[in-house]
Structure 1
Amino acid sequence: MGNRSSQRTKDNTSLFKVDISSNDQSDISNILYDDSNSCLLAVQFNNKHSITVLKYSCSKDEWTPCHTIPMKGLYRTAIVKNFLCFHDWLQGVRICCYDITTRAIRTVMPLKEDQPYWSCHCLAEFQDCLYLIGADVEDDRRVYCWNPTNDVVTLIPLLITGRTRAACLKHGGYLYVVGGQVGSIGSFRDTNSVERFNPRKNRWELCAPMEVARGVLALASAGYYIYALGGDCRDIPTNIVERYDTRDNQWTQMAPLLVPKCFAGTVYFNSRLMACGSFGTSEDCSIIEEFDETTNKWCRKNNMPTEGPFSYVLATPEWTRQLESLDDV
């Protein structure tokens, strides 16, 4: 496999940088999620039990179970049309897509069965498709796209910088990929590089790098901003928080988390930034913190009612009602 990311960046003959003057902000208002348009769900993963989905009540600051999926899952979650997508615990190269209309489970498996980095690639919903980043050790620039309409997996243009252990996020008409690790086996290093996929030009564009290189961080979309929380630096969990302003392509360090978090559940909901998790998945992952933007401080909230780890997802009220109705059948 040889050297990967550090050299492969140089292989791209045309490197495009973000042009903020041409930003597509047409749907920026739709990035702000609250009780009027969304439901906040927490997907609980446990290697000994089934997956439990919990629903958040903002008025009561309470989480209540709303559905159980009879299989094991792992870490990251995305909603794509009528599917809840997650990594399969037993065979991590496979992505499980749980159909909330039929309870059926589709599997997406673009990778080889001997793929050794199955827990280190990230997934995100973008334009009603599922995107997988850093999922191929033979070339970690490859980005897979699963279209649930025709159940077909395709490749989109290569990343500028190949990476594993990154985070990805849909925001303002673009797909952002942030941080992770680059290098070759035995000599990986954290990266602070950031890029975004521009679907109108069908290409990746370089964004300003984070101030601190790290992997397995968490991202949250908040209006014109993207928050990057926690992760690990040189395999040490961190509480670093940075905020990216899409209008001027700049990162700013914010107040650090009270507790370092890796693979955190993170969301911006009802004008509040929430983060759930701890040093690692073997620690107490029920810890929730909330960020006060006016004071630039974090405070502890009521813990999740059960052990984690958790992944936060936002769903429409209609999608959530359909999920809940499965238990009425």
Structure 2
Amino acid sequence: AHVFAAGGYDGAEYLDLVEVYRPGPPEAKPGSVSAAGRWERCRSLSSGRSTLGLVGCLGTLYAVGGFTAPHYLSTCEAYDPNADQWWGVAPLGQPRRDLGLAAIEHRHMLVAAGGYDGRKYLGAVEAMDPRMNRWRPLANLRKPRQLLALCAKGDQVWAIGGFDGKEGVRTVEVYDARA
């Protein structure tokens, strides 16, 4: 398994950088130099952005939403790590940054939830089947929020914590894709 990092802001410019962490060999002795993994550069995003969502689904990495001052983005890109190639996919229905993003792989389903659109904290949730290349709305979160953790387990997506503009959100909400 690999870990990817994409985009960001360095205080002067929005970054289009993408890197992958490749762990050391499993047979290496813990703590040894050979056990340490390494970060490698990948092909860049189409443009610099920060506070985007990033998730893998069935061997493809998806970069969703984000921010490039003064624009809140609905831009979505897909990346094939074997070909080191990015391409555009359908944009979100609503621009947002600081969103949660998760994948229910066996359903071919990406889920984007919450975030901030420059005016309000969002409860909006959208899903995309990459084979259809279009986002569709799902039931809203009960508590609008940004900076949430979104994770999938089985057929469920869990929205955990976040920030509602005034304070940290201390609730967890669950969406069941079977419903």
In the superposition, the TM-score normalised over structure 2's length comes to 0.82
2:84 pairs with one of 194, 202, 221: 202
2:93 pairs with 1:211: yes
Code of the residue aligned with 1:250 in structure 2: it is R
Distance 2:162 2:23 in 1: 33
2:5 pairs with 1:135: no
The percent identity for this pair of structures is 24
Q: Which moved more, 1:193-202 or 1:164-173?
A: 193-202
Give 2:121's aligned residue.
Answer: 237
Q: Which moved more, 1:130-139 or 1:250-259?
A: 130-139
Deviation for aligned residue 1:258: 0.6
Q: What CA RMSD, in Å, does the superposition of the two structures yield over aligned residues?
A: 2.0
2:110 pairs with 1:226: yes
2:65 pairs with 1:192: no
2:22 pairs with 1:147: yes
Question: Which runs of no fewer than 5 residues in structure 2 stay unpaired?
Answer: 25-35
Distance 1:164 1:140 in 2: 7
Distance 1:265 1:144 in 2: 21
Q: 1:270 to 1:135 in 2, by over 3 A?
A: same
Distance 1:136 1:147 in 2: 23
Q: Can you list the C-alpha shifts for 1:143-188, whole angstroms capped at 9, x where unaligned?
A: 12222315322211111122101010011101110000024xxxx2
Give 2:161's aligned residue.
Answer: 277
Deviation for aligned residue 1:281: 8.5
Distance 2:112 2:137 in 1: 10
1:163 touches 1:182 (CA, 8 Å); kept in 2? Answer: yes
Question: Which runs of no fewer than 5 residues in structure 1 stay unpaired?
Answer: 1-127, 296-329
1:259 touches 1:278 (CA, 8 Å); kept in 2? Answer: no
Give 1:174's aligned residue.
Answer: 60
In the superposition, the TM-score normalised over structure 1's length comes to 0.46
Deviation for aligned residue 1:247: 1.4
1:166 touches 1:181 (CA, 8 Å); kept in 2? Answer: yes
Deviation for aligned residue 1:291: 2.0
User: Which runs of structure 1 show a deviation greater than 6 angstroms over 4 or more consecutive aligned residues?
Assistant: none
- Computing the radius of gyration from Cα coordinates, the structure with the larger value is 1
Distance 2:168 2:62 in 1: 29
